[in-house]
Structure formats: structure tokens, C-alpha cells
Amino acid sequence: SRRLVLNLGRGAVVGGAASNLLDRLRHGAVVDYAVIRRGDGGIAFNLADLAVVSGILLMLGWVVTYILTTPRPA
């Protein structure tokens, strides 16, 4: 159902946020272990960050799909 995507997004955001919070409580900071370098710069992230961003994108996609497919009163 359409709610499955929404619930997966919610779970990913809550799970990623909880994981980052646990890192902060244990280590005093979020531990980033994946690094993508490009030239002089780059980005560092972890799976929790990826889960939060993916969850937000899933929920945003759900909202857009809901708006586009829901019949409107005449």
C-alpha cells in the first residue's frame, strides 16, 4: 500500500537519528566512517546519515505521489 513507503521513510529517519544520538552519547560526536574525496574537498558520512536522507526522500516522494493521485473535489 502507499502507507508502506511512508512508514519505511519514517522508520529510516527515526532509526538514523537514534543511531546518531547513540554515537553522540557514546563518543561525544557522530562517527563518520565513509569518505568520498573529490579534489581538495569531499564529504564524510555514515549509514545513519544515509538512512535519514533516504527516509526524507521517501516521505517527500510519498507526499508528492499523494498530492498528484488524490482526487480533488469539483
What is the rounded CA–CA span in Å between residue 70 and residue 31? 42
Active site residues: 32, 49
Q: Rounded distance, CA 12 to CA 48, Å?
A: 8
Beta-bridged to residue 37, according to DSSP, are 42
